[in-house]
Chain A
Amino acid sequence: EAQVTQNPRYLITVTGKKLTVTCSQNMNHEYMSWYRQDPGLGLRQIYYSMNVEVTDKGDVPEGYKVSRKEKRNFPLILESPSPNQTSLYFCASSLSQGGPQHFGDGTRLSIL
């Protein structure tokens, strides 16, 4: 089954403790991206990747890092999480930039 898989689905952690949210897709998609969703602000793009080793900032990249060492994986790294990064995060992928995007089920992060 074609899918985008995120882990963990839920995480409660503390300020400053590094964490990684993994994202994997099995559709051989070139384009992958991360969004965060906050009440009243909608979904906003954090980072995106057009292919292996090619990443770029989205609209709200501060406090986040990403890497794309393999085509299928696009982890989101919070080196020193802060409470303002408490949010619902979605990973998405598409065959190419501009194509229909498939979203994961989301990761709900709470930073205390």
Chain B
Amino acid sequence: KAGVTQTPRYLIKTRGQQVTLSCSPISGHRSVSWYQQTPGQGLQFLFEYFSETQRNKGNFPGRFSGRQFSNSRSEMNVSTLELGDSALYLCASSRGTSNTEAFFGQGTRLTVV
């Protein structure tokens, strides 16, 4: 079956702009989580959506937001981009119940200039 698909793979944006990243989970998976990966801070949890509701949220400013659609596809949005938002953004899907594996996409590399 198809894996987790993230689009686009690469993005270059200017400071102050906003950006939307997309994640299509594995069929049947209802949970999508987003992570930010940077050399300085490592892998940090942004938020998780389950059945269209945000179930968990990490410690990121309100400029980072997300949503999930009825088909479980998820988007994350970053407004008023800062240079420090340059990172690899990974999404992971799972069934959303305990004892289930999280499958990761290949990520979106965002560069803010």
> Real complex partners, A and B?
no
